[in-house]
Amino acid sequence: MRYVAVLRAINVGGRSVRMNELATHFRAAGLADVETFIASGNVLFASSSKSTAALARMIGYHLGRSLLLSVTTFVRTRAQIQTLAEYAARLGSEQASARELSIGFLAAPMTQEQADALRSLCSDDDQLRTAGTEVFWHCQTPQSESKFSNAVLERTLETKVTYRRASTVQRIAARLAAKRANDETTWADR
């Protein structure tokens, strides 16, 4: 099965890891067909495991030992990434005035208390929606000018979150679709 690992705080705040080094660590953890996607900590890979939670724990543990860094890891299946990309496209067309749309990855769905706290963070400039284990952030201003940030969300929800631009998630989904087409062609040639 194909997966995407979305890593929090890779190549920010002085935590620099080259992507070829990151891929090597994933292979050493026993993961197959490893490919990094842009330098913000997105890794495509294959595994026979059926549990995204178990994969996230294993990858986080392995990277922590190898890199001597705490690396919060979120894992999604190919189907989940495709669904996110499609949902982001629909949200983007609904909120055409938004300057930026980003997707925040959570380890688990929000509790009712967290969802209520999330609503309290919305403003004229920042609209937030949740869907499953993701938070969608429509920002009317450049995100660098917003009062909302990943740090604000983490403090409010008391959990770790990492964001990717919707366009990045859509590009990852396209890459996974291309890999799937290649896999199907390769299998048919056998």
Domain edges within the chain? 2-78, 80-169
Residue 108 CA to residue 155 CA, distance in Å, equals 16
Reduce the DSSP state of residue 151 to 3 states and report it: helix
User: Edge-to-edge strand order for the sheet containing 32-37?
Assistant: 32-37, 42-46, 2-7, 73-77
Distant-in-sequence, close-in-space partners of 129: CB < 8 Å, separation ≥ 6 = 91, 135, 136, 138
Residue 170 CA to residue 64 CA, distance in Å, equals 28
Confidence category of residue 136, pLDDT binned at 50, 70, 90: very high
CATH, domain range 2-78? 3.30.70.1280
Average pLDDT over residues 72-79: 96
Determine the pLDDT at residue 104.
Answer: 95
Determine the pLDDT at residue 112.
Answer: 94
Return the ∠ at Cα 160 (arms to 155 and 164), rounded to 5°.
Answer: 110
Q: Is 141 exposed, middle or buried (0-12, 13-18, 19+ CB in 10 A)?
A: middle
pTM here is 0.89
Taking alpha carbons only, the member of 106, 90, 97, 103 closest to residue 164 is 103
In DSSP terms, 7 is beta-bridged to 73
Determine the pLDDT at residue 141.
Answer: 86
Q: Is 151 exposed, middle or buried (0-12, 13-18, 19+ CB in 10 A)?
A: exposed
For residue 77, pLDDT beyond 90: yes
Reduce the DSSP state of residue 182 to 3 states and report it: helix
Average pLDDT over residues 128-135: 93
Two tokens, residue 121: 């963070």
The highest-level CATH class for domain 80-169 is: alpha beta
Torsion 78-80-84-86 (CA) sign:
positive
- Say yes or no: do domains 2-78 and 80-169 share a fold: yes
